[in-house]
Structure 1
Amino acid sequence: MNNNIFTKNKFALCFFATSGLLGLAIPATATAGVNLATPGDWETSISGSLPVFMVASDHDNSEKALRVQSGFNPANINFHVVAPKSDAGFTVSGHFQIDTHLQGSGVQDSGLFESRVANIQLSGDFGTIVAGKDFGVFNSSAIGDLGSQRGVGWLGGGADTANATGGRIGTGYVYANFNPQVKYISPSMGGLSFKVALINPEEPQDASVETGSPRIEGQVNYKMGTGNGSLELWSGVFQQSVDVMVGEDTFGYNMQGIDVGGHIDIASFGLTVSYTDTTGIGADGLYGGSIHDADVDGTQWYVEADYVFGKNTVGVSYGEGSQDARAADSTKGLVAVGDVDNQLTMLFVNHQMTPQLRLIGELQDYQSTVQNDYTAIVVGFQFDF
């Protein structure tokens, strides 16, 4: 790419310059939640985060842009209310999240608010039952990477990305999404735990479809200490059926997948690897995007290495999302699907300036067979409470 904001050499120089600037900030520790005065044995608290990023990007066959915008996480505030423990030995709590976004160019003052979380939780020695709207299960551990989860990641809308950005959706994992569900979370059993959920199905919008059953998602996690570090392993599965009406004919297909991954910390070094294989989901990493994804085989994977010193974290992350070509099936009204490959390389740095304020720097190089390639420099802040 000849018209990039920076050459490959400048890419590295800018990253280390950003690391040095962030290192001048005052080190501190993280914080969590604000408790509110509550009568009796009730507990009430609020928590949230306000991320703000300045993104300078250069898009092939498009434009150069400088935008102030949201990152992978929108601005959010969470309300938590915990009732007194019942005589039966379990605790009931309610959780509600309100989110808003820094809009892209041309979408100002829209007043867009959404609720990603609204659920009731029953917790006890048996584990936790969640009923309502919550984060998905499949690929949820993969989404916990440091690079994209704390920062910006893929600019899904190009130079004028509105709402939250894409993280590693389509270049490392399938998006777990926030949907109404009933979920069970087991207690830890010697480091081993699992989740299983019945989740409202996603429906492709480019055809008349029926989804008579929920999506089933499950995940197993294992965590253990390693002397001077820790190890976490995970694996998950999901399945959802879709019936498509084409005239008077009907055909069905399954969206399904499996993922495996792990994260290890040894002293100051960390390494995360994740691999996901799906059918019925394309390289974009989104559920139910199109009926033309029926029978398409997709893969998502990424590798991320990080190093922590004091209150600073620096790292490098590379990942891909791809799908295999499939011949057209005119009897089902499906068009041919070609090979797709998306790649995202990120260099990132985080510094905890105060217990509540984190400074973030990020450099990106994105390449795709179906979207405009781009490079980007990102500098931002996130206030947590």
Structure 2
Amino acid sequence: MASRKKVLVATVMAASVVSLPYTLARHAMADDYSDLLDVLRAKGSLTQHEYSTLLGKHMRHVAAEQDAAPRAVRPTAHSRATQQTASRAAAHGTGVSNGYEPGIRFEAAPEVASRAEDAATRAEASARSAQQALDAMNSNQGGFVRVAKYVPGKGLTFKAGPVDINLSGFVNGFYTFNSPTGGTAVAGGVSTGSTGFDSSAVRNGLLPAGLMLKLSTKQQGWDIDAVLGMYPGTNDAKVGALNANSGGNPVGLGTPGIDFRQIYITFGNSDVGTFKVGRDLGLFGGDAIMSDATLLSVGATGSNSSPANTSLGRIGVGYVYADWIPQITYTTPKIAGVQASVGIFQPLDEFQYAGSNADKNSPSYNSTYSASSTQHSSPMIQGRVTYETTLGEVKAKIWASFLIQHQQNLQYIDNGTTTSTGTHHAAMVEAADIGTKISYKGFEGVAYYYRGSGLGTTGLFFDGVASNGRKRDSEGYYVQGAYNVTERLKLVGSYGVSNLYLASGEAQTVDPAYLVRRNQSIIGAAYYHMTDWLNLVAEYAHTSSVAHNGGSEKDNTASAGVILFF
């Protein structure tokens, strides 16, 4: 604290004592310096002793300059400034007329005043170098590190020369109670209704925790960013096909999973647009999840008895998860509210999420419902167009996106043996979506719809191709309404559905009776904005899954917790 005060003292002295010609501008600075001392004292940067010492010393400089200056350069403005400075000095017991030696007050702790006098003397001696340092800091050059104005939720930004270093993130935790209402297991369903047991968990919601580091600079006309995003969960991780997103493992001596899902760079400018290279959220379905209110809560739990890094939210019950995918994308400048993006992405395998037929009476027992793929000769392609506008108090955003990927070497497991899907050993997956978000005063509404061929449900390419190699069609939607009852309290309600249809000729190869046909959920939540960082959340969700044979399962979930953004 002492060193910080010395720097402040040096800075304010430098602003005062640097030698300048006797001009109107030089004399006008007299009262500016006094104002600066007042601000520093009000903020606690100067003690009363230091304030009095510096103000008295300043008075002596002002008086000396006035005596030395020719009459022609003693303006009325300087006289007023001198009078105002003298008034301050008198008000604080400092000056030549208060019975003390100028610049010193004799009080119970004279060593404090002495230290202040020494500091002022040293500051005066090095005034020119201090002024140069101040100029360098104001121009953000040299080795100074500065802190930008803090905006809640936008993180901390440090300016180190030409580089902005931003640290932001969030942390959340919920108590979640899940109660199944019975039914039969649905292959590929998201409900836990058939488990038969209530479950309690202390867990993350749809978001895990997150810590993001962003480095930004401008070089030769290019805006350049590097982003690293780490997303750890609170629950024990279990190794599985979905890595950190696999079901958890609530056993002693476990450790949580770390999902390093964001690793990318961007470069561009307002004329050319922006290029992105690395791993980030996909274009197709990206706006759907970012507009989903359950992003700040739990929604459908997935597995609540052994929680994974995250819950499902509305994933699989209104949209297909956009996912975080390695990509090279280009985004145009925004023109009249319109912006477009297109890119090539790491191709993903078709995945047998529903597993195998578990009905021992079925002729296709121990055969997978869906095909998988392992070869990709071409990348996945995704694109998106957005339009944003404001009409009076109405703000609107409309988006549409698409996805294309060629799946090769399709195969499935037939009675425990990996088998080619035959003549249909490849498939071109296609998908598109459209959505809108409209806000007016305290109301916000979202409507979204998607449709795909070979896309699958819940995750990209989950059960998108049948075991005979033919594509399954799928579609889904969700609608959401939110209203700010007060500045701090927001109520949200939403309903969503995801449908998966059978492929042509599928019933003749593998019995699809237990395969999921529909996942749906109804969700209501209250969000209380307690502080700039902290939000309290209470939520109820009813989730159900229905199979192609009519079997179903349902569950109810109540959650309460907090989520913090910094």
Q: What TM-score range do you get, normalising by the shorter chain?
A: 0.7 to 0.9
1:286 and 2:451 matched: no
User: What is the distance in 1 between the residues matched to 2:400 and 2:168?
Assistant: 29
User: What is the distance in 2 between the residues matched to 1:287 and 1:359?
Assistant: 32
Match of 1:272 among 446, 453, 457: 446
SS in 2 for 1:101: strand
Q: Which amino acid aligns with 1:350?
A: Y
- State the shift of 1:347 in Å: 0.4
Match of 1:36 in 2: 158
Query: How many residues were matched structurally?
Result: 352
Which segments of 5 or more consecutive residues in structure 1 lack a partner in the other structure? Answer: 1-28
Q: Which amino acid aligns with 2:529?
A: Q
* Alignment deviations for residues 219-243 of structure 1 (CA, whole Å, 9 cap, x no partner): 1111111211201111111111101
- State the shift of 1:334 in Å: 6.3
User: What is the distance in 2 between the residues matched to 1:183 and 1:359?
Assistant: 37
1:228 and 2:404 matched: no
Match of 1:101 in 2: 233
Is the contact made by 2:201 and 2:304 (CA closer than 8 Å) also made in structure 1? no
SS in 1 for 2:408: strand
- State the shift of 1:152 in Å: 1.2
User: What is the distance in 2 between the residues matched to 1:214 and 1:323?
Assistant: 25
- State the shift of 1:71 in Å: 0.8
1:80 and 2:214 matched: yes
1:163 and 2:284 matched: no
1:91 and 2:223 matched: yes
Q: What are the within-5 Å matches in structure 2 for residues 37-56 of structure 1?
A: 38=160, 40-56=161-177
User: What is the distance in 1 between the residues matched to 2:323 and 2:374?
Assistant: 20
* Alignment deviations for residues 93-118 of structure 1 (CA, whole Å, 9 cap, x no partner): 11001111122462563242121100
TM-score, normalised relative to structure 2? 0.59
Match of 1:300 in 2: 476
- State the shift of 1:363 in Å: 0.7
User: What is the distance in 1 between the residues matched to 2:175 and 2:227?
Assistant: 31
- State the shift of 1:149 in Å: 1.6
Is the contact made by 1:93 and 1:121 (CA closer than 8 Å) also made in structure 2? yes
Q: What are the within-5 Å matches in structure 2 for residues 1-385 of structure 1?
A: 30-36=152-158, 38=160, 40-59=161-180, 60=182, 61=194, 62-83=196-217, 85-87=218-220, 89-103=221-235, 104=248, 106=250, 109-125=254-270, 126-205=272-351, 207-246=372-411, 251-282=425-456, 284-290=457-463, 291-292=465-466, 294-308=470-484, 309-328=486-505, 336=512, 340-370=517-547, 372-385=553-566
Q: Which amino acid aligns with 1:96?
A: L
| Higher relative contact order (CA closer than 8 Å, sequence separation 6+) | 1
Match of 2:190 in 1: none
User: Of the two, which has the highest radius of gyration?
Assistant: 2
Is the contact made by 2:292 and 2:314 (CA closer than 8 Å) also made in structure 1? no
User: What is the distance in 1 between the residues matched to 2:545 and 2:507?
Assistant: 28
Distance 1:174 1:364, change over 3 A: same
User: What is the distance in 2 between the residues matched to 1:217 and 1:169?
Assistant: 19
User: What is the distance in 2 between the residues matched to 1:30 and 1:265?
Assistant: 22
Distance 1:159 1:330, change over 3 A: same
- State the shift of 1:329 in Å: 5.0
Distance 1:330 1:315, change over 3 A: closer
Match of 1:20 in 2: none
TM-score, normalised relative to structure 1? 0.85
Structure (1/2) with the larger strand percentage? 1
Distance 1:379 1:67, change over 3 A: same
Q: Which amino acid aligns with 2:448?
A: S
- State the shift of 1:218 in Å: 0.8
% identical equivalent positions: 22
SS in 2 for 1:56: strand
Query: How big is the alpha-carbon RMSD for the aligned residues of Structure 1 and Structure 2?
Result: 2.2
